[in-house]
Homo-oligomer: A and B are copies of this chain.
Amino acid sequence: MTILHDDRLFPPDPETRSIARRLYGEVRNLPILSPHGHTNAQWFAEDTPFSDPTRLFIVPDHYVYRMLYSQGVPLTDLGVGADSEPDPRTIWRQFAKHYYLFRATPTRMWLDYAFQELFGMESRLSSENADKFYDVIAEKLQTPTFRPRALLERFRIEVLATTDSPLDTLLHHRAIRALNLKTRILPTFRPDPVVDPDFDLFHQNVRKLGELTSEDTGTWVGYLAALRQSRARFKEMGCTTTDHGHPTAATADLDETTTAALFRKVTSEKASSEEKELFRAQMLTEMARMSLDDGLVMQIHPGSFRNHNAALHQKFGRDVGADIPTRTDYVHHLHPLLNRFGNEGRLTVILFTLDESTYSRELAPLAGHYPCLRLGPPWWFHDSPEGMLRFREYTTETAGFYNTVGFNDDTRALLSIPGRHDTARRVDCGYLARLVADHRLDEDEAHEVARDLAYRLAQHAYKL
């Protein structure tokens, strides 16, 4: 008995399905490149076992608890928040009782994948078998083969990137490098805490950046020097990319005097929201300039209205499932940065979106022209079978396959990584199979593209 069918996500027409099977057969077992994600370097540095099924699957996963919350389950009943400490098994039972809510969601698919492939479960999670699931998983988590480093090897993860603040000492990354693991674990330079004036504790962060680097971050010149030095420190730990999570895609290209004045304004606590936005915009251009020097690949992840639910933000802090996508403008907003550096072949800027209406209207036309631009895979809410299929259907005809960069799992949940990559590989093979069945692509080409999407494009775009 299995939970998941081996033909899942393949097109139903028998001939198309058999093409999809052939394509998938050749990429199914390729190693995993995970160049953008949010796992914790400490796990691998210390290799401590995961504590229990609830803390592994529910408490850290905002995909899981946002759905339960939307249907009336209080977050405190799910172990979210500092004060809350309900019994893990009770939470697990709540989760199992509500498992039907996840029908036809990608979360359900990743969970089922982990239950079946990693823990050997043979039937769907339900109230009836909740305790059995809990016991089996809890027991296995204490065995050596379920320790973080063993999982990396089992998952055939060749590269795993974390996401890190310039204020992070990269202590765990340093420790990991000494271990000589088969998996290369790399930090990603995410400067939001020190370049976004709206970030929690921005002023304090900029001061700390100065202390860490021994630069005077009270001045524009010192601030830039501190950022440059931090990037160099990340590079030493193997970092190949930066990541930027701004509310919009706005960029600017101001002259130095104006920028220095703007910097004084935003660091003196008196800036308007327009000035803060302009500063973030200018900082994307500054980061691009630094990338031209040090070769780090830029990732831009715009368009999330963070902490939309003020009451929850106040009570539980960031990242509790209340970030909501907004309309995003790439054509006008990226114009200043592209006019400055868009024709630079040495620069790589990978664009992500939460606004699918931009795929065919803005992103594919931009990436199909500017040498520096590439399209990141479907992101966050759109990292799902239908979302992945739409991404291909809306971008391929204008940008082709070779202006995209393969798949990112973008996850905090280590155990979901193989399931997520498997979903992406299946959906891409299904899409390619349809092109072959429609005679838009020859099958020998589809085999090559399938490998490119599963492995080579990420390797090349992220300089892995």
User: Interface residues, chain A, CB within 8 Å of chain B?
Assistant: 4-5, 7-13, 15-16, 66-67, 69-72, 100-106, 109, 124, 305, 308-312, 321-322, 324-327, 329, 331-332, 335, 338-339, 342-343, 345, 354-357, 360-362, 364-371, 373, 381-382, 384-387, 393-394, 396-403, 434-435, 437-442, 445, 448-449
Contacts and interface: CB of A to CB of B under 8 A. Distances in A.
Contact of A398 (B361, B373, B381): B381
Contacts of A437: 12
B360 A309 contact: no
A335 B361 contact: no
A65 B396 CA distance: 16
Nearest to A354: B361
Contacts of A343: 309, 311-312
B326 A361 contact: yes
Contact of A441 (B70, B71, B103): B103
Contact of A124 (B10, B308, B442): B442
Contact of A101 (B354, B371, B386, B400): B400
Count of chain copies: 3
B387 A360 contact: yes
Nearest to A75: B343
A17 to B, nearest CB: 10
A435 B104 contact: yes
Which of A12, A360, A371, A399 gathers most chain B CB within 10 Å? A12
10 contacts: A12-B16, A13-B13, A70-B399, A71-B402, A103-B449, A104-B396, A325-B361, A326-B361, A356-B361, A357-B357
Contact of A8 (B101, B325, B439): B439
Given A311-B343, A325-B331, 13 more contacts: A66-B369, A67-B368, A69-B371, A71-B371, A101-B402, A103-B400, A109-B440, A309-B343, A325-B365, A356-B357, A356-B361, A384-B397, A386-B394
A66 B222 CA distance: 40
Contacts of A442: 124
B445 A103 contact: yes
| In the A-B complex, the 5 residue pairs with the closest CB atoms | A5-B439, A8-B439, A384-B397, A12-B437, A357-B357
Contacts of A342: 309, 311
Which of A310, A368, A370 gathers most chain B CB within 10 Å? A368
Given A339-B309, A343-B309, A368 B66 contact: yes
A122 B333 CA distance: 46
A361 B370 contact: no
Which of A69, A361, A382 gathers most chain B CB within 10 Å? A361
A438 B338 contact: no
A362 B332 contact: no
A106 B13 contact: no
Contacts of A449: 103
B327 A440 contact: no
A252 to B, nearest CB: 15
Contacts of A327: 329, 361
Contact of A70 (B69, B329, B403): B403
Nearest to A15: B12
A368 B66 CA distance: 6
Contact of A361 (B66, B310, B355, B367): B355
Given A343-B311, A361-B327, A438-B12, A321 B400 contact: no
A438 B8 contact: yes
A401 B360 contact: no
Given A439-B5, A440-B8, A365 B338 contact: no
A127 B389 CA distance: 31
Contacts of A364: 381
A332 B71 CA distance: 22
Contacts of A400: 67, 101-105
Given A397-B384, A400-B102, A439-B8, A356 B345 contact: no
A72 B360 contact: no
Contacts of A345: 72
Contacts of A435: 104
Which of A101, A364, A400 gathers most chain B CB within 10 Å? A400
A422 to B, nearest CB: 13
A190 B425 CA distance: 48
A360 B373 contact: no
Nearest to A386: B393
